Amino acid sequence: SQTIHQWPATLVQPVGSPLSLECTVEGTSNPNLYWYRQAAGRGLQLLFYSVGIGQISSEVPQNLSASRPQDRQFILSSKKLLLSDSGFYLCAGGLWGNNSPLHFGNGTRLTVT
Amino acid sequence: DQQVKQNSPSLSVQEGRISILNCDYTNSMFDYFLWYKKYPAEGPTFLISISSIKDKNEDGRFTVFLNKSAKHLSLHIVPSQPGDSAVYFCAASMNRDDKIIFGKGTRLHILP
């Protein structure tokens, strides 16, 4: 079965500092990978998704970016964090096109101070 | 534009009774619907799904009903248990699309 690994679990960063969150997938090949953010009262907002190495689709224009350097690795980055970037970031993976569910990692709680 | 709507931010239900969580969607092209459960500081876990070719899917205490004409789905939990207290997210997708769109969630409180 598929397992999504995310780290770190919590992170406190000052405004203007860079960000790198990593997600890796175990148990499947060529998954679709997703970054979601849960902000207070906002539900799960889709930020980026990737259907393959080097292929990134952005859903929300912002100062975040994503990269997929390897099949089972998905990275969320920022060059300069804003206060509004605080939230709970979730990586998910799935084999789409077959009506199968996404599996989520345990998330990273990011606080920008 | 919110394509998946969960209009009740919270719901309280007595233990042992039925919990009914509702979800509405606006995009008639959605053909696959899912429910997830989320505890604080954890990732969502998949509960149950339904394809648009069905109007009901059951898995133990969880049943999802789909009304395509009303663009509405609901999750029934019976009987409700204390461990069911969590945030429940409704999600939807089109089979030929890779995006899964989530609602804002409903916090379910199971009262003793």
pLDDT grade for B96, boundaries at 50, 70 and 90 = low
Torsion angle in degrees (nearest 10) through CA of A65, A69, A73, A77? -20
Q: Quick check: A107 contacting B, CB < 8 Å?
A: yes
Find the residue in B nearest to A98 (Cα): B95
pLDDT score, position A98? 56
A7 neighbors A105 (Cβ within 8 angstroms): no
pLDDT grade for A2, boundaries at 50, 70 and 90 = confident
A99 to B49: CB separation less than 8 angstroms, yes or no: yes
Q: What DSSP designation does A97 have?
A: T
Three-class SS of residue B34?
Answer: strand
List of chain A residues whose C-beta atoms are within 8 Å of the C-beta of residue B103: 43
B91 neighbors B103 (Cβ within 8 angstroms): yes
List of chain B residues whose C-beta atoms are within 8 Å of the C-beta of residue A102: 34, 46, 100
pLDDT > 90: percent of chain A: 69
B45 to A59: CB separation less than 8 angstroms, yes or no: no
- pLDDT exceeds 80 at position B97: no
Q: Can you tell me the distance from the alpha carbon of B99 to that of A84, in angstroms, rounded to the nearest whole number?
A: 24
- pLDDT exceeds 60 at position A6: yes
pLDDT grade for A97, boundaries at 50, 70 and 90 = low
